Amino acid sequence: MTKNDILQQIRLAKSGNQSAFRFLLDSYWNDVYGFQLKRVKDEYEAEDITIETFAKAFDKIETFNEKYTFGTWLITISKNIQIDKSRKRKASIHSKTTDTSDEHVHKIADVSPTPEDKLITEQHLDELLQFIKQLKPHYQDVINLRYFQEMSYNEISEHLDEPLNNVKVRLLRAKKLLSEIITQNHSH
């Protein structure tokens, strides 16, 4: 993937293109998650910080300066989130919010079905439930709320008491992981 490919996807994401957000998430997830895992040494915390990183980055994507490297920008956001969480923990203030403002949370589109959506909805129910059980619990929750309880992103956000952008990123990631499980099982 070239620097121009990345820039093109960033520009598409700035215009609200859903597949560009998915491309950026898929391309950079392992880098950000790996970085956090080394810092916090806890899978769940690293994953939460990574989700928050992408939520914040996608919320502020229009501020990304193309002179810089996108991966470095994400790592910087991630590092700042982790430092803030450490400070809050040390001050014993427990809060489940991000500083994502409500008027920006609609940047990640919630419209047309993705390839992952199609793959998920085409599965037999009993088989699909077995695949979902292979996901981590917090991914199982968002898949269940979205596909079985048919909640909107806003309803899921309220139900989980989590910022909307975090829910959107967590669902993007859950759908990707679930589609990988489905694909692996159908290739055997």
CA-CA distances (angstroms) from residue 45 to 60, 152, 161, 175, 180?
Answer: 22, 26, 17, 20, 23
Sorting pLDDT into bands at 50, 70 and 90, what band is 108?
low
Q: In whole angstroms, what is the distance from residue 177 CA to residue 94 CA? A: 29
pLDDT at 75 over 90: yes
Instruction: Sketch out the chain's domains with CATH numbers.
Output: 3-90 (1.10.1740.10), 103-187 (1.10.10.10)
pLDDT at 62 over 50: yes
Average predicted confidence (pLDDT) for the chain: 85
Sorting pLDDT into bands at 50, 70 and 90, what band is 97?
very low
Residues 143, 158: contact at Cβ < 8 Å? no
Q: What's residue 188's pLDDT?
A: 67
Rounded to two decimals, what is the model's pTM? 0.70
Residue spans of alpha helices (H) in 15-152: 18-40, 43-59, 70-90, 115-121, 125-132, 137-143
Q: What's residue 70's pLDDT?
A: 94
Q: What's residue 127's pLDDT?
A: 81
The 10s digit of each residue's pLDDT in 117-156 is 777 766 677 788 888 999 999 999 999 898 888 889 999 9
Q: What average pLDDT does this structure show over 146-175? A: 91
